[in-house]
Chain A
Amino acid sequence: MTDKDFEMTPAAGNGLMDRRMFLGATAAGGISMLVAQPAAANRPAWTQTPGKGMNSYGSPSRFETDVQRVGIGSQAGTVGSGASRTPLEQLNGVITPSGLHFERHHNGIPDIDPDQHKLLIHGLVDRPLSFSLETLDRYPMTSRIQFLECSGNSGALLSPTPMPRTCAQLHGLVAASEWTGVPLAILLEEAGVKPEARWLVAEGADAAMMSRSVPLDKAFDDALLALYQNGERIRPSNGYPMRLFLPGWEGNMSVKWLHRIKVTSEPAMTKDETSKYSDLLSDGTAQLFTFPMGVKSVITNPSGGLNMSKPGLYQITGLAWSGAGRINRVEVSADGGKSWAQAALDQPVLTKNLTRFRTPWRWNGAPATLMSRAVDEHGSVQPTRESLMAGRAKGAFYHYNAIQAWRVGENGEVGNVYV
């Protein structure tokens, strides 16, 4: 079967096809016949001997060992003050394997004994309380599949000239998991929050005792004391044995290794919320408490560093998300933004989660510029790089959610460009 067998339905310029094309082709029995059946007499080697036995904890195929976190870096003289990034272009679907969830630590991963770990709630409460992990397992829990994004994600795109980087290197500080835990509201209500309280100050049990102030209305809205990630106990690199999870808000606030919550009337103005995760504007003022992550999308395939072997039919795919709610639609351009086609969205589209988008594209072998643009349920549209940069101070890199462009060269090489 060749590309010619498809009925080509253009949806936008430069080869973008109707997003329903793949679905139609499958229904007609087209694509499913691509795989030829091996002749019975010519069995592959692995079908000729019994396979390996069971094992207590599985791991990926030995042929997948190149799927690793990338861009691992730490501040000078340290090993645990930095980040590692999720290999977005090597994954599909929306859930990030726990072992590939990006990391951002401030002084390493603590080796916490869960039997000695306690969560304290005190401050402006009627009853200061302590909770053990064992105790918390008896509380009502809920599960949510939602994204977590570091507010410094994509900051490398503030560089005046586009750096030759992969999708993961540029955008890999985002991941999605099923988070399971106790709604924080239940624990706060048990402690009895006093009427004058407006904030809580969360603190981790890492060597940096990382601390952030969180508005109480968020805590009562959808904050979770997360105990499980993708069905198993949270990994040490993601906050074992418990972390705060604040859906849609900058990742730094979802304090890992959570061990103390102080309820207050004012924010504590910690180092991380003032000197680090604030946003400097070009007029010299700085914004505090820019919590929600903006509407954003990125094409993960094709993307920087990949090579398209030859012209033909491809599926453009990527991820879209918004800290304000659900993704309403994603549009894709193959001509540098001159025309846009609506992409198909994998279902279900969940609030404050990564949404997988897909659209067919017939690459004719000529240079092309691929872009994606997300719109969320509130009508917020992902900004262009130019509009995002307006008013920002030089080097202010948090909350970068502008449209990403990938240039496909005549030789099939894909790279990061600005349009």
Chain B
Amino acid sequence: MSMFNRWLITLLYLTAGTTLQAGEGPSLGTPLSAGEVAAADITVMPDGEGLPTGSGTAKTGTSVYLANCMACHGEKGTGGINDTLVGGHGSLTSDRPQKTIGSFWPYATTLFDYVRRAMPYQTPGSLANDEIYAVTAYLLYLNDIIDQDKELNAETLPEVKMPNHDNFVWAYSP
């Protein structure tokens, strides 16, 4: 085999290797319109991006909570058969850390995002945006984070600072 042939084979091999690694696909994805994206995108970011229009207060959230949440999470967010949502303030360094929305969660926006995507457990997706703002407000109110009359909407919810916000450390930073 001549040097040239050897060089050519090496080049072909390297090219093939590069192609495989870059992973060339057949480009068969169907373009999505802005409307299609908006209809599917339910992610709420910590800065509030993705929050929909609508609003609610703890007062209006009380009835939403009683009708949809109390059966599992107890009256006023404690004593239910599932996760305790209220209390536990100052417990994180104790022998019985209690990780609730008020004592642990770093972002208020997460509460809206999670309720909208996953709650109520038996009928996820059944609450209107106003109801989600309202029940979010009610849970933050029960945790002494906002007042009963505080209106939560796409502007005010990201401004709510959670008590435990500063106690999170990133173990991975891309």
Contact = CB atoms under 8 A, between A and B. Distances in A.
Interface of A: 75-78, 81, 106-107, 120-122, 127-132, 135, 138-140, 182-183, 185-187, 189-191, 198-199, 201, 203, 207-211, 215-217, 260, 262, 264, 266, 268-271, 274-275, 278-280, 282-291, 393-396
A269 B158 CA distance: 12
Interface string B134-164: 0000000000000000000000000000000
Report which residue of A129, A198, A282, A290 has the largest number of chain B beta carbons within 10 angstroms of its beta carbon: A129
Interface residues of B, number: 54
A217 B72 CA distance: 39
B122 to A, nearest CB: 9
A190 B25 contact: yes
Contacts of A138: 26, 28
Contact of A270 (B31, B32, B71, B113): B113
Interface of B: 20, 22-32, 36-37, 40-47, 71-72, 81-82, 92-97, 99, 101, 104-107, 109-110, 113-114, 117-118, 121, 124, 167-174
Given A77-B71, A187-B29, 16 more contacts: A120-B37, A127-B29, A140-B25, A208-B124, A209-B118, A270-B110, A271-B113, A274-B110, A274-B168, A275-B105, A280-B97, A280-B104, A285-B167, A286-B167, A289-B171, A394-B97
B133 to A, nearest CB: 17
Nearest to B72: A77
A138 to B, nearest CB: 5
A192 to B, nearest CB: 10
A217 to B, nearest CB: 5
A283 B168 CA distance: 11
A178 to B, nearest CB: 19
Contact of B96 (A187, A201, A210, A395): A395
Contacts of B46: 266, 268-269
Contacts of B32: 120, 122, 128-130
A411 to B, nearest CB: 36
Contact of A266 (B23, B45, B81, B118): B45
Nearest to B101: A275
What are the 7 tightest A-B residue pairs by CB atom distance, in nearest-first order?
A129-B29, A76-B81, A215-B174, A289-B172, A128-B32, A271-B114, A209-B117
21 contacts: A76-B81, A77-B82, A122-B37, A128-B36, A129-B31, A129-B32, A130-B31, A130-B36, A132-B30, A138-B26, A139-B26, A182-B25, A187-B29, A198-B174, A260-B40, A260-B41, A264-B43, A268-B45, A270-B110, A274-B105, A290-B171
A288 B105 CA distance: 12
A391 to B, nearest CB: 12
A189 B22 CA distance: 9
Report which residue of A130, A140, A264, A274 has the largest number of chain B beta carbons within 10 angstroms of its beta carbon: A274
Nearest to A249: B172
Given A130-B36, A274-B110, A268 B29 contact: no
A126 to B, nearest CB: 11
Report which residue of A122, A190, A275 has the largest number of chain B beta carbons within 10 angstroms of its beta carbon: A275
Nearest to B20: A140
A140 to B, nearest CB: 6
A191 B24 contact: no
B25 A186 contact: yes
B29 A186 contact: no
Contact of B172 (A122, A190, A270, A290): A290
A275 B167 CA distance: 12
Report which residue of B29, B41, B105 has the largest number of chain A beta carbons within 10 angstroms of its beta carbon: B29
A140 B23 CA distance: 7
A288 B166 CA distance: 12
Given A269-B46, A290-B171, A186 B24 contact: yes
Nearest to B37: A122
A284 to B, nearest CB: 4
Contacts of B110: 269-271, 274-275
Contact of A275 (B43, B81, B99, B174): B99
A77 B122 CA distance: 10
Contacts of B114: 270-271
Nearest to A129: B29
Nearest to B96: A394
Contact of A107 (B71, B104, B118): B118
Nearest to B105: A275
A393 B167 CA distance: 13
A273 B113 CA distance: 13
Contacts of A260: 40-41
